[in-house]
Amino acid sequence: MSFGGYSGQAYSPSGDKGRFVLPPSFRKAVKESSDGRILCLDKHDRWNCLVGFGLSRNDELEAQLDREEDRALRLGRDFDRDLRATQLFGFAQVPFDDSGRFIMPEHLRSLGRVEDGLYFQGAGRFFTIWNPVELSRMGEEWEAAQAACANLVAEAQAKGKGGGK
């Protein structure tokens, strides 16, 4: 079965011992992409969120590095391949268990402004992981994601108040 990308939305409240759960649809896609239970996490380069993906993205990142270097050479611009490689390949490899539980590295918690819940938004080759408050601060082009996030957070809070998780 080939990797089909990341799509959809999900919410994961913080669990016991500060763990989070990779939602089932994202868990399945990461397993397909990583040929196992390794979640790659990094800070998004422009937004106050994290990005997640599987190990299969390594080849794509290497190709991106080559394209960026070729473009810089064509345009007569300086290109520091080592620095750019460090930026692209500096992601954390986080193991998760069969239930999708993982521990967020502390530096990524800080960079992603992670608090007590994570909103997951599919983006094809990767997915974004948001603190719902940070997502709510984004512009109107994020309206659909903001609405989905608000709904999923409200559902999780209602389940929590009902005694079941």
Please give the model's pTM, rounded to 2 decimal places: 0.84
How does the average pLDDT of the chain come out, rounded? 88
Average pLDDT over residues 143-148: 96
Domain positions in the chain are 9-55+96-161
Map residue 40 onto helix, strand or coil.
strand
Task: Assign residue 58 a region (left: φ > 0; alpha: ψ between -120 and 50; beta: otherwise).
Answer: alpha
DSSP track, 87-138: HHS--EEEE--TT-EEE--HHHHHHTT--SEEEEEE-BSSEEEE-HHHHHTS
Q: What are the backbone dihedrals phi and psi of residue 37, each rounded to the nearest 5 degrees, phi first?
A: -110, 65
Element (H, E) at 27: helix 24-34
Q: In this structure, are residues 102 and 40 in contact, taking their beta carbons and an 8 Å threshold?
A: no
| Position with higher pLDDT, 161 vs 119 | 119
Radius of gyration of the chain (CA): 17
Q: Which of 63-72, 84-93, 109-118 has the lowest mean pLDDT?
A: 84-93
Say if residue 2's pLDDT is above 70.
no
The most confident of the ranges 10-14, 23-27, 64-68, 136-140 is: 136-140
Percentage of the residues of the chain whose pLDDT score is greater than 90: 61
Q: What CATH number has the domain spanning 9-55+96-161?
A: 3.40.1550.20
